[in-house]
Every structure is written in structure tokens, then in C-alpha cells.
Amino acid sequence: MIEFPTVLDDLMMAQQPILKKSKDIFGYELLFRGKDALNANVSDGESATSQVLVNLCIGITKLESQLRKPFFINMTTELMLSDAFFPIDPDTVYIEILESQKLTPEFFEALKKWRAAGYRFALDDYQFDADYEALLPWVSIVKIDILSTPPENFIKEINELKARGLILLAEKVENEEMFEYCQKIGFDLFQGYFLQRPEIIKGKKIDSATHAAIELVNALQDKDISIETVSDLVTKNPKLSYQLLRILNSPVCGLSKTVVSIKEAVIFLGLVQLKKWALLITLTSSSTQPKALFKVLLTRGRCCQLLAQNKQSAIPDSAFMVGLMSGIDAVFNVQKSVALEQIALDDLSRAALMNQTGELGSYLSLTLDCEEQHWDNIQSMSPAERALLNRAFLDAMLWSEEVMQSIN
């Protein structure tokens, strides 16, 4: 895994995509918790905060160089008022200000200093409180928690924010219906679990294109399938062949030579690895879902795999498959049980996907705790376990971005 500063062992970090209207990724919110996972403050006191920031930014800089997307980062009042060095390109970060921020002359002076250095601000959890209107001239983005502040009750205020040229971000968008409503009334950016938790029609049939893709997925689960059969299956799909060769020739695979054919790729990479990549590209090629969903699922798969490897498990590739296929219901817009019935999975993988049980289920459960910020569960882990999960998730974020760039 990528080496991050040791300070990240004590800072749990999760990420949540922020999407455009097109459902393409605009950026990520990086969510931090300290040694006390239930406490969002990264440090207490100006001097400690400054030291943590310097170390932390080493890790963020590594993320920045590979993700190439804007980050949204919450910063403490102490940090805003300190003279700490912040070695992150202003074009790749938005500093979030909580509406609960105490507004003092010193704080506005700090805003002026950061703004002069080129940094941009987002006002988080805005509830249309008149006392905080003084912050609006300083921010580019206004984030509104649509669960605690229902937007239908503030249409006039939303229009006024739009008239000021502010970008509106809807937080906690939980389903497609709310996404469409927020889009209709003027929101520009969206954050929440609506991609991972789509509205699924019970008993919906799988269309013919998806069915063909699942047939290939099913064939690839056969432990006795031959190299020739896999090569034939893949080469029959020109798009799949092209994408597979691209990804096998990219740095994420780590092959020592360039491959020029699917069969050659099988020989050098091995059947198990080829099945993994072929499955991945089959899923992405046959779904109408936005690429942001696959970024999430790739991160899950890689994190599960890394957790298994660190446990010296004999089944890290199965862990990857479980993480990747944990969102197969969202990929194909059918119930998970319906999709899994048509795929020849072993009992352990099926139990992990349906109930998060067994060894594979434990890796998936830990990954989802990090992805969905289940801080109560994370807090119950030992410091060593938290550090391992944190590093696996960070590494998985970077790896999945590289893979998506290779596929695209």
C-alpha cells in the first residue's frame, strides 16, 4: 500500500463523492475523525493543530496528485486563525465553514488572508439563518442539508442565493426522486447515497443486454474454465477486448511487459486476475449507471482485498469480488437477490453479499463502515485495526481512480 504519514493512523478518513447534475464526479468531501472517532475536531490547540496539518497535508498532497478533483475539507477555528502552512493548491480545495462558526472580527480577518492566498470557501449546513448572511460574500458554494432543512420550505431563499451567483450543493440526497427535485429547483451539486441506493422496482426483469453481460459474468465464475474459453469469451466483445488490453497495459496491473493479445494477457497475468478485470469491465460496459457508482464499488473491492491481504487470508481475490459486486443491484437496477440468483457464486461470497456474514462479510462490513462514516462502529475498533482500515481505504481511493482513468 502507499505509505502515508503516521499521523494518518490516528485520523480516520472517509470520502464521499460530490456529483454534478450529470452525475459525473465534481469532487470529494474528505471527512476526518481523530483518535476519538466520534469527535470531528482533528486537534485541540493551535500548536497541535498546526503540526497535525503539516503532517496531514503530506498525505492529502499525495491524494491531490492522483485524484485531481477538488477536495472539500472541514477546518477548525483554531486552524483558520493560525499561521499554519497549507501546502495544497488552492484550485483543488474548498475550505468548509460551519454555520455554527462564531463570527468575530478575527475570523473575518482570517477569511481575508485565506482568500488573498487564493483559497475558496463553502458554507456548510446552511439553514438560512440571517446572522450568517455576512458569510455569503466570502463563499463560492452553499451546502444545504436537505433532511434537516427541507428545500421545499425555502424556495424563495434558494432563488435569492442563485441570484447572487452562488453554487448550491444538496447534502444527504438519499434517493433518485430527491435528486431530481433538487435539480429542478436549482441545486448544482449533490452529495449523498442516492447512487448506491437506487429506487428498484420489485421483480423487474433484466433486459437482454444486461442478461448477456451476466452470462459472461457467470461463465467467469467457473473455477474450471480454461484459458482458451476465457479468451474466446472476451474477444467476442470488441469493446471489452479493447478496454481489457488498455487496463492490462496500464500501471495499475503491474505487468512487466506490454501485452498485445487477450491470450497473452492470460498467460502473463494468470486466469484469476484476468477473470477479475474482465468482470469489472463487463459490469461497467453493460450498465447505464454513471461512472461515479463504479468508482465507489472499485474502492469497496480494493479495500476488502487489502484488508484480506493484511490478514494473510487465502481469499483476497474473493474479497475483491465481494466488494465490487456489493452494488450489483445498483449496477443493474434489480434487487440484489434477483441479480445474484443468476450468477454462480460460492456460498461464502453469497452470504457475504446478502448478509455480510463470514470472513468475506467482515471485510465488506468494515469497508462500508468507513465509506458510510459509521463512526460508532469504528470507535469500537482497536487503534491498530482503525489504522489498518484507514490506510486500506485511502489506498483503495487512489487505486480506484487510476483504474477508472485506465478504463475510460
246: its cell numbers: 488498455
Domain membership flag for residue 202: no
Domain membership flag for residue 7: no
For the chain, helix (H) and strand (E) counts, in that order, are 18, 8
d(CA 354, CA 356): 6
Band the pLDDT of 93: cuts 50, 70, 90.
confident
pLDDT exceeds cutoff 50 at 337: yes
| Same domain membership, residue 220 and residue 123 | no
Domain membership flag for residue 288: yes
Of 229-238, 339-348, 359-368, give the lowest mean pLDDT range. 229-238
Domain membership flag for residue 56: yes
- Single out the residue in 156, 190, 224 at which a domain terminates: 190
Helices 291-310 and 358-371 pack at an angle, to 10 degrees, of 130
62 contact partners, CB below 8 Å, separation of at least 6 = 2, 4, 398
> Nearest-CA neighbor of 332 among 235, 192, 201?
201
Band the pLDDT of 11: cuts 50, 70, 90.
low
Sign of CA dihedral 282, 394, 300, 188: negative
Of 82-96, 210-224, 391-405, give the lowest mean pLDDT range. 210-224
Share above pLDDT 70 across residues of the chain, in percent, rounded to a whole number: 69
Per-residue pLDDT of 229-283, as tens digits, reads 877 777 666 666 666 666 666 776 666 667 666 677 667 667 777 767 777 776 7
| Same domain membership, residue 259 and residue 403 | yes
| Same domain membership, residue 172 and residue 311 | no
Band the pLDDT of 47: cuts 50, 70, 90.
very low
| Same domain membership, residue 214 and residue 167 | no
Residue type for position 314: A
Of 48-52, 116-120, 300-304, 348-352, give the lowest mean pLDDT range. 48-52
> Nearest-CA neighbor of 169 among 18, 10, 354?
18
- Single out the residue in 163, 190, 217 at which a domain terminates: 190
Residue 273 is predicted with a pLDDT of 72
- Single out the residue in 190, 220, 237 at which a domain terminates: 190
Domain membership flag for residue 40: yes
Domain membership flag for residue 1: no
Band the pLDDT of 211: cuts 50, 70, 90.
low
d(CA 95, CA 97): 7
| Same domain membership, residue 115 and residue 252 | no
Per-residue pLDDT of 270-288, as tens digits, reads 777 776 777 777 677 666 7
d(CA 302, CA 321): 9
Residue 12 is predicted with a pLDDT of 58
Residue 28 is predicted with a pLDDT of 84
| Same domain membership, residue 279 and residue 132 | no
- CB contact at 8 A, 115 and 91: no
Residue 43 is predicted with a pLDDT of 43
d(CA 311, CA 303): 12
CATH number at residue 57: 3.20.20.450
d(CA 57, CA 93): 12
Residue 80 is predicted with a pLDDT of 79
d(CA 400, CA 374): 22
Instruction: For the chain, give the mean pLDDT.
Output: 79
pLDDT exceeds cutoff 60 at 92: yes
Q: What's the structural domain count of the chain?
A: 2
| Same domain membership, residue 46 and residue 181 | yes
d(CA 364, CA 299): 11
Domain membership flag for residue 125: yes
| Same domain membership, residue 213 and residue 147 | no
Q: What are the backbone angles phi and psi of residue 16, rounded to the nearest 5°?
A: -130, 130
Burial 335-369 (b: 16+ CB within 10 A, else e): ebebbbebbebeebbbbbbeebebbbbbbbbbbbb
Enumerate long-range contacts of 238-244, CB under 8 Å, 24 or more apart.
239/285, 240/278, 240/281, 240/282, 240/285, 243/281, 243/285, 243/407, 244/274, 244/277, 244/278, 244/281
Domain membership flag for residue 25: yes
Site of grid cell 479495500: 303
How do 25-33 and 12-19 pair as beta strands? antiparallel
Select the more confidently predicted residue: 340 or 209.
340
pLDDT exceeds cutoff 60 at 53: no
- CB contact at 8 A, 80 and 54: no
Residue 254 is predicted with a pLDDT of 66
> Nearest-CA neighbor of 283 among 312, 321, 228, 245?
321
| Same domain membership, residue 336 and residue 242 | yes
pLDDT exceeds cutoff 90 at 162: yes
Residue 50 is predicted with a pLDDT of 45
Sign of CA dihedral 236, 238, 244, 250: positive
| Same domain membership, residue 177 and residue 224 | no
CATH number at residue 397: 1.10.3210.10
| Same domain membership, residue 243 and residue 182 | no
Give the helix ranges, DSSP H, for 208-346.
Answer: 208-220, 227-235, 238-248, 262-269, 271-286, 291-310, 316-325, 328-332, 336-341
Per-residue pLDDT of 170-206, as tens digits, reads 999 998 899 999 999 999 999 998 877 655 555 555 5
> Nearest-CA neighbor of 263 among 234, 240, 285?
234
- CB contact at 8 A, 316 and 309: yes
pLDDT exceeds cutoff 70 at 89: yes
236 contact partners, CB below 8 Å, separation of at least 6 = none
Please state, as a whole number, how many other Cβ atoms lie within 10 Å of the Cβ of residue 164: 10
| Same domain membership, residue 318 and residue 271 | yes
Give me the domain span that covers residue 335: 208-407
Band the pLDDT of 209: cuts 50, 70, 90.
low
